[in-house]
Amino acid sequence: MGEQLTTEQIKERLLADFRKKFGIEQGEKLREAVSFAERVHCNQRRDGGEPFVTHPLTVAQYLLNMGMDAPTIIAGVLHDTVEDGDGITNEDIEKRFGADVAKLVDGVTKLTKSGNQTYITKKQEQTENLRKLFLSIASDVRVVIIKLADRLHNMRTLAYCTPEKQARKAKETLEVYAPLADRFGMGVIRSELEDLSFRYIMPEEYAKLAAEVSEQQQERMEALASAMEQMKALLKEANIEGTVSGRPKHLYSTYRKMQRNGYKLNELYDLIAIRIIVGSVNDCYAALGVVHATWKPLPGRFKDYIAMPKPNMYRSLHTTVMNENGIPFEIQIRTREMHETAEYGIAAHWMYKDDKKVMTELDRKTSLIKQIIEAEETTEDSREFVENVLKDFLGEYVFVLTPRGEIIDLPVGSTPLDFAYRIHTNVGHHCQHARVNGNMVRLDYKLKTNDVVEILTSNSQVGPSRDWLSIVKTQSAKNKIRQWFKRENREENILRGREMLEDAAKRHGQNLQVLMKQEYVNEVMSRMTINTMDDLYASIGFGGASAGQVLHRLMELHRKEERLAALNQKLEEAGKEPQKPVRRTNTNGVYISGDPGMAVFFASCCNPLPGDPIIGYITRGRGVSIHRADCKNAASLLNDPERIIEVEWATEEKNAFAATIRLRVVDKAGSLMEISKVLMSLNVNMTSLVSRSTSEGEAMMDMTFTVSGTEQLKVILTNLRKLPEVLDAYRV
């Protein structure tokens, strides 16, 4: 792909290749699409200076080379016309090129900013776009193939972009697109995307490893060449027809292996791989016999992915052998079809349409995304949805087996309950016990790769229990449990939710009557995308929303109104204009009224956390300082009402905030250890600790750590207070 073609050459090659495969009639359709794209992009250039249209044409060529169908290739030509074309709509595409093509183009088109949508941050924009992409993939899997071809070309030409864009694109590629390629079995694309991202994200490590590899490669390559010759002759002798090729492993996977296991380069056995492609499955095993009869296999390195394919459909025989000079090689043996699947994954499905296995796998794959989409009912926003897909679908996973030997892939940290829910919703609901490798385990056991998992169900188990919500790891299991509670007991949930909110109010000494003012309630519901009061109660009742959170939002709205009234009274007394309620201008995690350009910082005297009632104070020259409303300093600031400004938290986003707590503890060896254990189990990072002995047998500890908000802080304090060593714990 390295050759430099002119735009005209790229175009002619695409048209000719396409015509050869799909015939003259289809060829005309493509030509039409090409001229349409040429017109739309006529004044646009790529970052490298070449006409923009070379990009969609190249993407279409990739799709053609992968063996995709005609509508996908045509959509590849058109994929940027709606996004970048002035006034081109999806309806235009549908009118000209039909619904199928239009649907694909729409699937890869980002949301437009011109609509009602305005994005506060780049991150938010990215999230919204990913959400749309995942939804599109679930409804038509060809979308992911176009998107990956698009990303591949953009990454190959990334050299021409600004360093900032390079870093952003490379990071996104490594986090989203390479895992997507992997999940859909598109091995070559994944490798290349990873290597390209690696180069831009860690240029030094990349260069260092590349140099190191090539230095060692010399000797290995020579050995490889002679091994390949030998292999060819041996296959011929054994009457097995096949091709033999050799290649170095790609850099990023080598880098990761070294990082993860602390290996040195010369400790890796699979820096070089020989690939043998033969005609049939029988020949695969025959070729393996020849290999093992010639070179000594290394123990524990043989893997039969033909009998047990990987969850992403990958099939091959793998073995590692040592040659006469002690140089190790990995050898991969597969049929042509397995090879296509290994390289192009789901794309290979369009080459082998009758392959039932691929189809089933495809269904399963997209059904995983669909499960997460269904779950969206109960999640509050698109950020959560996108995170769920990234974690449940694109994160690191373990492979476990059903008793019948089927492989199930689950995110790292999954439990037998996640497994049960993955098998079937009802297996989950009625799960009573689990056996792993023949032994009974607790339902919160963390599954490991190669565990054989067996779920024992019981009809006397009427349904999930609420504490399962804190056991399961996957969002889809969590949501199935929530939905059960939601559906089974709506009436009960409404009652329960109301009670829970009343209890929460009582605990905080609040009068719910005052707080449930219609304006406040509406504001809370609209933020949670909930429509009716019953839905709000029900949501609290089944655990979709927390009573504490709802209460705090209501309290904050109420306090805000009171503070504004008090402030305006002072202003009025001073003969000044009253302030209006907060207009939503977001800066640094809080909304402030007025000038959006104002810098915002958090006062270090009280370290406010999301969820805390807060006020803003306009400092001289430094912007707005945010204090807790109950901060001592803030009280004196209130004497200066003109400089007080209404603010509110923009998100409950899990940003890190510093919080300091003080503990009164029993002064003995081991106290700190117990406290650390609790913090560790809660995943809390302590950033500072000051400890001093006070009266006999007691010590005072001030510790600071980062938390996401008051909710988390509360959990930490509650857990610390449970320790016998801790006499008292509170926030300072």
Q: Smallest gap, in angstroms, from Cβ of residue 410 to Mn ion?
A: 33
Residue with tokens 């011109």: 114
**Judged by CB, which is closer to Mn ion: 7, or 719?**
7
Find the catalytic residue in 83, 491, 503, 640: 83
Distances (CA, A) of 656 to 137, 513, 687, 701: 32, 34, 12, 22
**Judged by CB, which is closer to Mn ion: 52, or 200?**
52
Find the catalytic residue in 32, 47, 84, 304: 84
Q: Is 150 in the site for Mn ion (CB under 5 A)?
A: yes
- Cross-strand partners of 628: 614
| Residues 515-554 contacting Mn ion, CB under 5 A | none
DSSP state string for 69-87: -HHHHHHHHHTTHHHHSSS
- Cross-strand partners of 475: none
Q: Smallest gap, in angstroms, from Cβ of residue 83 to Mn ion?
A: 8
As separate numbers, helices (DSSP H) first and strands (DSSP E) second, the chain gives: 28, 22
Q: Where does residue 254 rank: exposed (0-12), middle (13-18), buried (19+ CB within 10 A)?
A: buried
Is 561 noted as a catalytic residue in this protein? Answer: no
State the first-to-last Cα distance of the chain, in angstroms, to the nearest integer.
Answer: 62
Query: Are 162 and 68 within 8 A, CB to CB?
Result: no
Q: Which stretch binds Mn ion (CB under 5 A): 70-78, 149-157, 537-545, 637-645?
A: 149-157
Classify 375 as helix, strand or coil.
Answer: helix
**Quick one: angle between helices 336-344 and 187-201, nearest 10?**
40
CA distance 11 to 64: 13
Distances (CA, A) of 155 to 189, 200, 208: 11, 10, 21
**Judged by CB, which is closer to Mn ion: 55, or 103?**
55
- Residues contacting Mn ion: total by CB under 5 A: 2
Query: Are 57 and 11 within 8 A, CB to CB?
Result: yes
DSSP state string for 510-533: --HHHHT-HHHHHHHHHHTT--SH
Q: Smallest gap, in angstroms, from Cβ of residue 587 to Mn ion?
A: 33
- The candidate with the shortest Cα–Cα distance to 416, out of 453, 363, 367, is 453
Q: Smallest gap, in angstroms, from Cβ of residue 382 to Mn ion?
A: 22
Q: Smallest gap, in angstroms, from Cβ of residue 95 to Mn ion?
A: 22
CA distance 669 to 127: 48
* Interaction pattern, residues 216-255, with Mn ion; x per rule: CB under 5 A: ----------------------------------------
Q: Where does residue 239 rank: exposed (0-12), middle (13-18), buried (19+ CB within 10 A)?
A: exposed
**Judged by CB, which is closer to Mn ion: 75, or 547?**
75
**Judged by CB, which is closer to Mn ion: 56, or 541?**
56
**Judged by CB, which is closer to Mn ion: 80, or 725?**
80
Q: Smallest gap, in angstroms, from Cβ of residue 79 to Mn ion?
A: 6
**Judged by CB, which is closer to Mn ion: 165, or 247?**
165
* CB neighbour list of residue 255: distance below 8 Å, 6 or more residues apart: 198, 205, 206, 209
The CB-nearest residue to Mn ion is 150
**Judged by CB, which is closer to Mn ion: 192, or 340?**
192
**Other Cβ atoms within 10 Å of 343 Cβ, number:** 17
Amino acid making up residue 153: H
Distances (CA, A) of 666 to 590, 673, 699, 728: 40, 12, 6, 10
* Phi/psi-derived region of residue 300, left when phi > 0, alpha when psi is between -120 and 50, beta in every other case: left
CA distance 388 to 396: 13
CA distance 348 to 355: 10
Query: Are 618 and 587 within 8 A, CB to CB?
Result: no
Buried residues in 616-630 as b, exposed as e (16+ CB within 10 A): bbbeeeebbbbbbbe
**Judged by CB, which is closer to Mn ion: 81, or 476?**
81
Is 83 noted as a catalytic residue in this protein? Answer: yes
Q: Smallest gap, in angstroms, from Cβ of residue 80 to Mn ion?
A: 5
Classify 460 as helix, strand or coil.
Answer: coil
CA distance 698 to 492: 48
| Residues 64-103 contacting Mn ion, CB under 5 A | 80
**Judged by CB, which is closer to Mn ion: 56, or 608?**
56
CA distance 671 to 685: 18
Q: Where does residue 545 rank: exposed (0-12), middle (13-18), buried (19+ CB within 10 A)?
A: buried
- The candidate with the shortest Cα–Cα distance to 295, out of 376, 234, 352, is 234
Q: Smallest gap, in angstroms, from Cβ of residue 104 to Mn ion?
A: 13
Q: Smallest gap, in angstroms, from Cβ of residue 146 to Mn ion?
A: 9
Q: Smallest gap, in angstroms, from Cβ of residue 51 to Mn ion?
A: 14
Q: Smallest gap, in angstroms, from Cβ of residue 55 to Mn ion?
A: 6
**Judged by CB, which is closer to Mn ion: 80, or 195?**
80
**Quick one: angle between helices 142-156 and 70-78, nearest 10?**
50
Q: Smallest gap, in angstroms, from Cβ of residue 373 to Mn ion?
A: 25
**Judged by CB, which is closer to Mn ion: 173, or 483?**
173
Query: Are 662 and 729 within 8 A, CB to CB?
Result: yes
Radius of gyration of the chain (CA): 30
Amino acid making up residue 712: Q
CA distance 248 to 223: 12
Q: Smallest gap, in angstroms, from Cβ of residue 394 to Mn ion?
A: 21
Amino acid making up residue 700: M
- Cross-strand partners of 248: 272
Q: Which stretch binds Mn ion (CB under 5 A): 64-72, 129-137, 147-155, 633-641?
A: 147-155
**Judged by CB, which is closer to Mn ion: 62, or 134?**
62
Query: Are 477 and 488 within 8 A, CB to CB?
Result: no
- Give the footprint of Mn ion on this chain (CB under 5 A): 80, 150
| Residues carrying an active site annotation | 83-84
